[in-house]
Amino acid sequence: MSRMSQSHGKSYWVLPISFCLILCIQAYEPLQAEMDEPVAGVSDVTYSADLSEQRLGRTLFRFVENRGQLADTEGNPVPEILYYADAGGAKLYFQRDRVSIVFMTIESSESGISEATGRSLNDESDAWLGEKTTSYHRVDMLFVGGNSGTFPQAAEVQPGYTNYYYAHCPKGITHVPGYAELTYVNIYENIDLRFQIVEGRLKYEFIVHPGGRVEDIRLRYDGATDLFPTLDGGMDISTPLGTIRESAPLTFQDPTERIASAFILDDNELGFAVTSFDGSADLTIDPWVTYYGGSNNEGVRGLAVDGSDNVILGGGTQSTDFPVSQAIQATYAGGAYDAYIVKLNAAGVLQWATFYGGTEGEGCSGVSANATGTIAVAGVTHSANFPIKSAVQSTYSGNGDSFVVKLQPSGTVLWATYFGGALTENHGWCAIDGMGAVFGGTRTTSGNFPTKNAFQNAHAGGGHDIAVFRLSSSGTLEWSTFYGGSSDDLIHGMSVDINGNVLFCGPTKSADIPLVNPVHGSSPVGQDLVIARMSASGSLIWATLYGGNGAEYASEIACGPDAIVSVTARTWSTDLPVRNAIQSSAVGNGDALVAVYDSSGRFIMGSYLGGSNGDVGNGIAFDPSGKIVVCGQTESADYPLLVPQQATLAGSPDAFITRFDTSGVVDWSTFYGGSQADDAVCVEVNKSGGVIVAGSTASDDVPLLNPIQSTNAGMQDIMILSLFSSGGTLTPPDPPSNLTGAPLTHTKAQLN
């Protein structure tokens, strides 16, 4: 799994070549996998019991640093081997100029009776008692013409460690970690070579930076008996004891355009050929798509990407078997839902996952992360025993309180607090700034909601008011305020801009909601969106309405370069303010909408987005260049597409994902989903331009790629996509005539 990246404004591209070890061996016995195997005179080692994940007879597949524990058959250290890995039937040794792959087989005696058990020594359980013949074969993968001055650099430390005690190190070499990634930096000029362990498989990829030449890459396999191409474009490297299978190289400019690439075989040396490509555009390899969830229902409501392109998501689960790892709360606590938080790295590999909640039910609806990897999550709890730490409000006020939790990148809780009054708080949103301060937002009916240094001290009436607050990096309350008018006002999205100001949005029915420099009128027509920017100190900078003659519903907000603000939602209006529109008129039975403003609140763009049936805009984000990605759900077979990865509705509804600029020019637009209901709820873009989408699916046949979970485990699972793309222009469909139909029932709740 890999990604396009940028360095000093330049794009580079990645050519991945993954291989797995397919063993063709006889009478292989896992219980003997730790026997000594000579590799240039090297004796391998045995993991100690300190490694908690050790499995009987089989060490975990990970890259282990050689800190002196490896020795040759005479007990001498072998410092030329820098890292090694145990793949069960094969072992790998990493040096500066090569990777050595050692295959092993063990053949048991063909007859004989065990004196201990009276059973045949050929029985699997007693085979270890008989005579055996151990065979080895070594293949060296040499980097022909490579930079001998480079060496592998490890990353992605794995849980557990190993202690070694041998004759040549009687005092022990202890606490030796394992890793999931090794990178040879500049193995060829402007080319890196990265090895990764993903789902127990070894994958490697060449990362060709600007100035790098694909034709410089040459691999020679010394010790192989034959190299021959496979029908699927891969390459098999055969040995007397096993086969190394190279899958066909995959190279993409975007999800819709595969760059032609192939192996070149010349006198046992393997190289690569790639057709021409646009070096100024994003070129990305090996996106990933996965299910995630347990045997019941999951919903995702929050998504964030940190400064290292790690992916964090949160929501609610009903599954007691929701997959957790390195969890701060390993079991379902009770109630209708528990909140969950999950972290994946940029390649889609699980870093940690946890439940978070008490006995009466929680849901996480806001997730945010800053460049340092610090995480904030927010939501609502009904539990008096919700796990808190260093809380600004340590007790449950009743009827549902909002919560905010701040975590380290490792998933350790820094602080966690309730925040609410005596009546009801519904949902919670958050945004963390670069210094670690956390903005929170909720919708409240509580007249005694805690306020401090407030812009608006009192609940303005009606049903819900918006409440916005700021907690310092250490979790102390800096300010808290109501925001609303005499009718219903709801928050449904929050973001922080590059200047530390907080942006929020949501639907409102209040004619007297506080506005500053509004650009679309001073009171809503029925139900409009309110979009507001507050300073870090809680003063209102600007606030405007956006809507038309129908109703606008739940929304999401994003901040981009130069503090530009974008919003998406759903509209039933036929007269929205439009500018630089993708679609200038309503097309279907409820459309998605997009509105964009500059840092001062000036209207830049307004557009409908949809087809002849129902469409909902759920998530929105900016990429590093200032382009906008919106995602949502559609029932429209004629939703406007451009170079789609999926060109037709697989079921109804499906997710949609669309990227465009603020002048209304679309780069690409696609469906995504399976034969049942699918929804794209959240979207983020990483610093490399990669598009990350999270949603929910009831489909068992969502198109997957390099998944960490390959099946839908329950009634509704989380769906996570990592995509990369570039584009062109789009002509939307003509508005249909004589539309009939009722509002979709699967969309987010309307204001009462």
- From the number of C-beta atoms within 10 Å of its C-beta (0-12, 13-18, 19+), residue 310 rates as buried
Q: Are 464 and 581 part of one and the same domain? A: yes
Assign residue 436 a region: left if phi > 0, alpha if psi is -120 to 50, beta otherwise? left
DSSP 442: E
Would you say the C-alpha torsion 383, 384, 388, 391 has a positive or negative sign?
Answer: positive
Q: What pLDDT digit, counting tens, does each position of 154-204 carry? A: 988 888 888 888 888 888 899 999 898 999 999 998 888 888 876 666 778
Q: Are 219 and 343 part of one and the same domain? A: no
* Residue 579, pLDDT score: 98
* Residue 28, pLDDT score: 25
- Max mean pLDDT among 110-119, 257-266, 610-619 falls in 610-619
Phi, psi of 634 (to 5 degrees): -140, 145
Under DSSP, is residue 2 helix (H, G, I), strand (E, B) or coil? coil
Q: Are 223 and 295 part of one and the same domain? A: no
What is the DSSP secondary-structure string of 33-70? TTS---SSSEE-----TT-TT-BTTB----EEE-SS--
Does residue 661 sit within a domain? yes
Q: Are 611 and 635 part of one and the same domain? A: yes
Check whether 693 has a pLDDT greater than 90: yes
- Quote the Cα angle for 662-668-671, to 5°: 120
Does residue 528 sit within a domain? yes
Check whether 679 has a pLDDT greater than 60: yes
Q: Are 344 and 397 part of one and the same domain? A: yes
Tally of residues, the chain: 752
| Count of structural domains within the chain | 2
Residues 6 or more apart whose Cβ sits within 8 Å of residue 216: 145, 188, 189, 191
Q: Which range among 12-21, 215-224, 426-435, 732-741 shows the weakest confidence by mean pLDDT?
A: 732-741
Q: Are 298 and 209 part of one and the same domain? A: no
* Residue 277, pLDDT score: 54
Helices (H), 488-638: none
Q: Which range among 95-104, 282-291, 528-537, 633-642 shows the weakest confidence by mean pLDDT?
A: 282-291
CA-based nearest residue to 38, from 78, 82, 88? 78
* Extended strands (E) in 370-486: 375-381, 401-407, 413-419, 425-432, 438-444, 465-471, 477-483
* Residue 515, pLDDT score: 97
CA-based nearest residue to 375, from 425, 330, 412, 427? 412
Check whether 281 has a pLDDT greater than 50: no
Q: Are 80 and 161 part of one and the same domain? A: yes
Domain that holds residue 376: 288-723
Q: Are 293 and 269 part of one and the same domain? A: no
* Residue 751, pLDDT score: 29
* Residue with more model confidence, 574 or 201: 574
Give yes or no for a contact between 526 and 509, defined as CB atoms under 8 angstroms apart: yes
Does residue 455 sit within a domain? yes
DSSP 592: E
Under DSSP, is residue 108 helix (H, G, I), strand (E, B) or coil? strand
State the average pLDDT over residues 605-633: 96
Does residue 743 sit within a domain? no
Q: How far apart are CA 314 and CA 308, in angstroms?
A: 18
What letter represents residue 16's amino acid?
Answer: P
Q: Are 390 and 527 part of one and the same domain? A: yes
What tokens were used for 195?
Answer: 């090895």
HSE value, Cβ hemisphere, 13 Å, CA-based, for 145: 13
Does residue 21 sit within a domain? yes
pLDDT band for position 278 (cuts 50, 70, 90):
low
CA-based nearest residue to 438, from 534, 485, 528, 502? 502
CATH of the domain at 685: 2.130.10.10
Q: What percent of the chain has pLDDT over 70?
A: 78
Give yes or no for a contact between 477 and 461, defined as CB atoms under 8 angstroms apart: no
Q: Are 618 and 651 part of one and the same domain? A: yes
pLDDT band for position 370 (cuts 50, 70, 90):
very high
Give yes or no for a contact between 553 and 615, defined as CB atoms under 8 angstroms apart: no
- Among 274, 301, 322, the domain-final residue is 274
Q: How far apart are CA 415 and CA 465, in angstroms?
A: 26
Q: Are 261 and 300 part of one and the same domain? A: no
CA-based nearest residue to 214, from 254, 177, 251, 243? 251
Check whether 44 has a pLDDT greater than 70: no
Give yes or no for a contact between 602 and 533, defined as CB atoms under 8 angstroms apart: no
Q: Are 197 and 344 part of one and the same domain? A: no
Q: What pLDDT digit, counting tens, does each position of 209-247 carry? A: 777 777 888 999 898 888 877 655 667 788 887 677 776
Does residue 742 sit within a domain? no
Q: How far apart are CA 599 and CA 82, in angstroms?
A: 52
Does residue 737 sit within a domain? no
Q: How far apart are CA 443 and CA 452, in angstroms?
A: 17
What mean pLDDT, rounded, does the chain reach? 81
Check whether 624 has a pLDDT greater than 80: yes
- Among 274, 297, 315, the domain-final residue is 274
Q: Buried (b) or exposed (e) across 211-225, using 16+ Cβ within 10 A?
A: ebebebbbbbbebbe
CA-based nearest residue to 657, from 646, 671, 647? 671
pLDDT band for position 116 (cuts 50, 70, 90):
very low
Assign residue 689 a region: left if phi > 0, alpha if psi is -120 to 50, beta otherwise? left
* Extended strands (E) in 445-554: 465-471, 477-483, 493-496, 502-508, 528-534, 540-546
- What's CA 485's distance to the chain center, in Å? 38
* Residue with more model confidence, 652 or 74: 652
Q: Buried (b) or exposed (e) across 590-622, using 16+ Cβ within 10 A?
A: bbbbbbbbebebebebbbbbbbbbbbbbbbbbb
Check whether 114 has a pLDDT greater than 50: no
- Taking residue 505's Cβ as centre, other Cβ atoms within 10 Å add up to 31
* Residue with more model confidence, 233 or 502: 502
Does residue 734 sit within a domain? no
- Among 274, 307, 337, the domain-final residue is 274
What tokens were used for 105?
Answer: 């087989």
What tokens were used for 728?
Answer: 């062109």
